[in-house]
């Protein structure tokens, strides 16, 4: 009778060990002075320093069906950046400094070189956000996932001084709404986008789209923009009253989350450039305008609310820092309509 081993069942522990050796240098490059453990520990230790009255802010997220684009294009580093961005951009809305990040990677068959590309992207995202990648979990799950497919999830923790928490409570009538440009679809709306491009339009991942000036796969795999440095560029100069990460649900589904029930956000259509990829989805898919706004970021990945007098210095500082920003609306009394487009 043939002896059955864990490796024959589909799980190769030796390959898992090799994967850890491959990613160790990448992970260590993200470490901050507060990190107290090395890679491979059962738990990641992180010392809180310099804060007088710290409040921890945490967030978790995934990349969604954008992973399908990574499988189709065999490009795996950018989704690691997406993973970090989706988490740190969320906790940033409270004014928190991202401290550390953990990831969960599950696959049908662990291929260390491909998995290294994923972690390389995660590490790059962590460096961009200024946080440390202090741990994670790699699960080889044959029979549960296809051999060449995987899933990703992430978890981030940040800190903010209690008196510095940004929660939207200071927002009032007359305040200005600034929109920061996205890099494209970011990590939302891919189920609809794939339906339009690959089923209705019958494109391939390597199809050239003249309107986009390149391959459709190159457009769809662009990583989500991380806005930590954008906030850092203005936090000491202007008073930020509220911030919203524009993800699934678009502006209508996310901006109202920071407004009290007596306020309405008025958005000026046409006040920012909408990336062409959204126009192609609308045109080629026959997608109604309301669905476009509720599904996609439409070119605005992050929103900042502040006083009218702060608009010019904020936009100047953001643009100088490499984050194109636009005055896209204002706050008015109302509340029946949480968002009104004009």
Provide the sign of the torsion angle of the four alpha carbons 25, 29, 31, 36, taken in this order: positive
Shared domain for 243 and 136, answered yes or no, is: no
Strand partners, 137: 104
CA separation, residue 6 to residues 43, 115, 137, 141, 148 (Å): 26, 20, 19, 12, 19
Shared domain for 248 and 293, answered yes or no, is: yes
User: Does residue 68 form part of some domain?
Assistant: yes
pTM: 0.93
For residue 102, what are the domain limits? 13-164
Domain boundary pick from 164, 185, 210: 164
User: Does residue 4 form part of some domain?
Assistant: no
Give tens-digit pLDDT for 269-288: 999 999 999 999 999 999 99
Give tens-digit pLDDT for 66-77: 999 999 999 999
Give tens-digit pLDDT for 221-259: 999 999 999 999 999 999 999 999 999 999 999 999 999
What CATH number does residue 313 fall under? Answer: 3.90.650.10
> In degrees, to the nearest 5, what angle opens at C-alpha 77 toward C-alphas 75 and 83?
120
Question: Distance (Å, rounded) from C-alpha 201 to C-alpha 196?
Answer: 6
């Amino acid at each position: 009778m043939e002896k059955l081993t864990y490796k024959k069942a589909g799980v190769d522990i030796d390959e898992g060990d090799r994967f850890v050796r491959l990613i160790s240098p990448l992970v260590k490059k993200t470490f901050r002075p507060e990190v107290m453990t090395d890679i491979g520990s059962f738990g990641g230790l992180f010392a809180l320093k310099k804060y007088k009255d710290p409040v921890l802010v945490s967030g978790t997220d995934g990349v969604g069906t954008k992973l399908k684009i990574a499988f189709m294009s065999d490009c795996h580093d950018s989704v690691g950046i997406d993973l970090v961005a989706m988490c740190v951009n969320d906790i940033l809305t409270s004014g928190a400094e991202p401290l550390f990040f953990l990831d969960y990677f599950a696959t049908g068959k662990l291929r260390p070189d491909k998995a290294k590309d994923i972690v390389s992207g995660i590490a790059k995202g962590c460096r961009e956000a200024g946080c440390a990648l202090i741990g994670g979990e790699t699960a080889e799950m044959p029979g549960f996932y296809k051999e060449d497919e995987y899933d990703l999830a992430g978890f981030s923790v940040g800190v903010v001084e209690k008196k510095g928490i940004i929660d939207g409570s200071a927002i009032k009538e007359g305040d200005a709404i600034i929109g920061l440009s996205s890099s494209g679809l970011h990590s939302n709306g891919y189920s609809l986008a794939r339906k339009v491009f690959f089923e209705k339009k019958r494109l391939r991942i390597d199809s050239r789209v003249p309107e986009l000036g390149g391959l459709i796969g190159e457009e769809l795999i662009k990583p989500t923009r991380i806005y930590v440095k954008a906030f850092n560029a203005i936090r000491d100069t202007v008073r930020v009253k509220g911030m919203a990460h524009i993800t699934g649900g678009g502006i209508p589904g996310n901006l109202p989350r920071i407004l009290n029930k007596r306020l309405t956000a008025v958005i000026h259509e046409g006040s920012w450039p909408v990336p062409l990829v959204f126009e192609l989805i609308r045109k080629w898919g026959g997608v109604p305008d309301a669905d476009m706004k509720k599904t996609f970021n439409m070119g605005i990945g992050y929103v900042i609310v502040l006083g009218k007098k702060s608009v010019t210095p904020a936009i100047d500082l953001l643009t100088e820092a490499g984050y194109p920003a636009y005055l896209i609306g204002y706050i008015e009394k109302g509340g029946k309509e949480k968002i009104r487009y004009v």
